[in-house]
Each structure stands twice: as C-alpha cells, then as structure tokens.
Amino acid sequence: MGVDKKILVIPGDGIGQEVTAWGQKVLMTIAENYKHNFSFDEGIMGHVAIEATGNPLPDETLEKARKSDAILFGAIGHAKYDNDPTLKVRPEQGLLKIRKELGLYANLRPIKLFDELLEASSIKPEILSGADILFFRELTGDVYFGEKKRTEDRNTASDLMIYHRYEVERIARKAYEAARSRRKKLCSVDKANVLEASRLWREVVQEVAKEYPDVETEHMFIDNAAMQLIKDPKRFDVVLTGNLFGDILTDEASQIAGSMGMLASASVGDSTGFYEPIHGSAHDIAGKGIANPLASILSAALMLDISFGLKTESLRVIKAVETTLKQGYRTMDIANKHTENHLVMGTEAMGAKVLENLS
C-alpha cells in the first residue's frame, strides 16, 4: 500500500536550483516505482525571494512549508551579500527563520564514505574505510541564541552559552532512538570539565541513557573528539552534541566523506522535516552545469527514511548512487586525478545516470 505525502521543494539560489531538480526527480521515480503518491509544490527563499518580494522568506513559502510533510531544500546565497556585510535584508535570514518557525531542533548529518571515493578524501584510505557516523547537532540553543553583549566602550563582548534541560532531553532521545537502529553506540560530546552548560548537558544525557540500557554510552570532551574523529573515525556510531561543537565537528567530519557535494543533512523537530545538502549556493560554479547533484539526491533518500519511514526506498536510492560511482561516473569535485577510468560529467548527465540505476 503506497503512502500519500506532500513535498515542498525550495531550490533557493545558485547551484541549489541545479541540484534540487535531481533530488525531486529521484523522489518522483521512487513514487512511481513503489506506487506512492507524492505531490509537489514549489516555494522561493533566499536571494531569489528578496529579488521577487523583498523578503528572504515570503509568508506564502512559510505557509506552504507548514502544510507539507517534508521539504527538499537546495541552498541560499549570492555573492552580492558575501561582499557587503552591511546589507540588512539577507538570504540566510530566510533559512534561520524557517528553521525557527518549524521548530527544527535536531540536525542530523550522516557521514559515510562510499568505498569508490576512498581516494577522493584528504585522509588516508585505511583510516577512513568503514567509517559510518550519524551526527545529532542541537540546532536551537547554545551561544547562537544566548544573550549577546558589548560594553559601551566596544572593547568587551560576550555570548551566553545557554541550555535548558528540555532541549537536551528531546534531542538526546532522538539520538538514542537512532542508535538503537544502528550499532547501538552513542558518544555525547561536551566540555563538562570547564563549562556549566556542558555539565547540565552531561547530567541530562546520563539520565536519558538509563532509558536505553541496550545502547553503550560514552562521554567525550570536544577537544578530544575533534582529534579522535580524524585519528580513528570508525570508533564512532552516533555522535550527540550541542550547537557550537556540532557546527565545528560536522564540518570537520565532511572531509571523511570526500566532498561537500556528497553530503546530505536533515533538520527535524516534532513536525515537518527539512532536507538539504550541506553545501551552499557555490557562486564559483553556479550556472556552469557542473555541480554534483548527489548530495541533493542523498537528501531525498534521508527524507524517505526519516520523514516517511520508507527505509527500503531510501536504501534503493543510496544503492543507485553507489552503483553510479562503481560504474566510474564522477562530477568534477569527486573525480580522482590518479585513475583514468573515470567518466567525468556534469550535473544533468550524473543525475540521469542515477535515475537509470534506480529504474
């Protein structure tokens, strides 16, 4: 029996427009193959929305977002704003607002290197091979949202690191649930030797851990975690951490997967899930037709699994990506300069190969 789902597509700016089309085509193919009924609507956000309406997140897009079961997003950003930090209306305001309005408090970022891309990473293949990590980064608390101050003489500044018990509890539960369906290991990362907010974090995780006796819990300080991630990424299964530490650790971990063009992420709360590649709008390659569409396609796979519970379909998409890479097809960012048997192609051709392998 197929499922009925409403999906809002927000391509955004730059390569967001080029790659999201392929994430959507993959979802359409899955719906057809597995007899699901996915209906699509489209919304604008970011620079394109500012140009059209003056608002980076028009009310109409937000309304559509609230009514959808899941959102497939591309990226926002334009060189104009990067070069002029004084501009008051900015594309990223749209992204921050939609995350807040939809209550997306947990950012999930799976880090898994396809064997075919072992050589594309800057880390030694023998260290990387077999690494498979799922990050849970808290998204609505911490220094990003705590009180910000600057003294009158402008010489002293502070950002308050703040966490409430309920914020730690709800994301800890999500992370433990995920660990149960994986290798049953959870590493909580904090700085409890120094920070009071981290001591609360650790205390709450220790309490939630009692509800999941089947999951092995480890607590690690952020400095050690940053080192272990590069030294021995295989030791991690689920990593649970706060907003600031998660921001830094997940970007570090993106190197494990070889390229930004390969990594997908999900932001979830208690309702609509939001799925996007981790990369930005990449002005340097926008409009050239060479962006890697695989991160958007893998974002669609995450949506199928997390928001719709369609695990088989999600694995089918991941398998199609794997097969495409096995066949030697590469976009420029993941082409290995040391081997000649790779067929380097653009966004359209790469997306079409994945669709072919899906059918």
* DSSP bridge partners of 37: 4
Q: Is 99 annotated as a binding residue?
A: yes
**In the complex, least distance from residue 31 CB atom to ligand NAD, rounded to whole angstroms:** 24
Residues annotated catalytic, as ranges: 144, 191, 223, 247, 251
Using CB under 6 A, which residues numbered 58 to 77 contact ligand NAD? 75-77
Interface with ligand NAD (CB under 6 A), residue from 65, 285, 304, 318: 285
Nearer to ligand NAD, 230 or 335 (CB): 335
Could you give the 3-state DSSP secondary structure of residue 73? Answer: strand
Residue 337 burial (CB count, 10 A): 8
Is 345 a residue that touches ligand NAD (CB under 6 A)?
A: no
Question: Quick check: 282 binds ligand NAD (CB under 6 A)?
Answer: yes
The long-range contacts involving 125-132, CB below 8 angstroms and separated by at least 24 positions, are 127/230, 127/231, 127/232, 127/233, 128/233, 128/256, 130/234, 131/233, 131/234, 131/236, 131/256, 132/234, 132/237
Is 247 annotated as ligand-binding?
yes
Q: Is 316 annotated as a binding residue?
A: no
Residue number, 77 or 242, with CB nearest to ligand NAD:
77
Q: Is 48 in the site for ligand NAD (CB under 6 A)?
A: no
Note whether 84 binds ligand NAD by CB under 6 A: no
Give least dist CB 48 to ligand NAD, A.
12
Side-chain half-sphere of 237: how many Cα atoms within 13 Å? Answer: 16
Q: How far is the CB of 14 from ligand NAD (least distance, A)?
A: 7
Q: Where are the alpha helices (DSSP H) in 233-340?
A: 243-254, 294-306, 311-326
Q: Is 349 in the site for ligand NAD (CB under 6 A)?
A: no
Q: Which of 43, 141, 233, 261 binds ligand NAD (CB under 6 A)?
A: 261
Closer Cβ to ligand NAD, 52 or 79, answer by number: 79
C-alpha 113/C-alpha 241 separation (Å) is 21
Please tell me the count of residues contacting ligand NAD according to CB under 6 A.
Answer: 21
Contact set for ligand NAD, span 87-126 (CB under 6 A): 95
Is beta strand 264-268 parallel, antiparallel or unpaired with respect to 238-241? unpaired
Residue closer to ligand NAD, measured from CB, 247 or 322 = 247
In the bound state with ligand NAD, the residue whose beta carbon lies nearer, of 314 and 347, is: 347
Q: Shortest Cβ distance from residue 82 to ligand NAD (Å)?
A: 5
Question: Cβ of 275: how many Cβ atoms within 10 Å?
Answer: 26
Residue 247 interacts with ligand NAD (CB under 6 A): yes or no: no
Cα separation, 219 vs 209, in Å, equals 11
Question: Does 292 contact ligand NAD by CB under 6 A?
Answer: yes
Q: How many CB atoms lie within 10 A of CB 25?
A: 19
For 124, residues 6+ apart whose C-beta sits below 8 A from its C-beta are: none
Tell whether residue 258 is a contact of ligand NAD (CB under 6 A): no
Side chain identity at residue 292, one-letter code:
N
291, 300, 303, 304: which one binds ligand NAD (CB under 6 A): 291
Distance between CA atoms of residues 188 and 38, nearest Å: 36
Element (H, E) at 264: strand 264-268
Residue 69 in marked binding region: no
Burial class (CB in 10 A: 0-12, 13-18, 19+), 324: buried
109 is in an annotated binding site: yes
Shortest CA distance to 171 belongs to which of 186, 152, 154, 191? 186
Q: Do 321 and 114 meet the contact criterion of CB atoms below 8 Å apart? A: yes
CB of 94 to ligand NAD, least distance (A): 9
| Contacting positions for ligand NAD (CB under 6 A) | 15, 19, 75-77, 82, 95, 260-261, 279-285, 291-292, 295, 331, 333
Annotated binding site: 99, 109, 137, 223, 247, 251
Annotated binding site for substrate: 99, 109, 137, 223
Annotated binding site for Mg(2+): 223, 247, 251
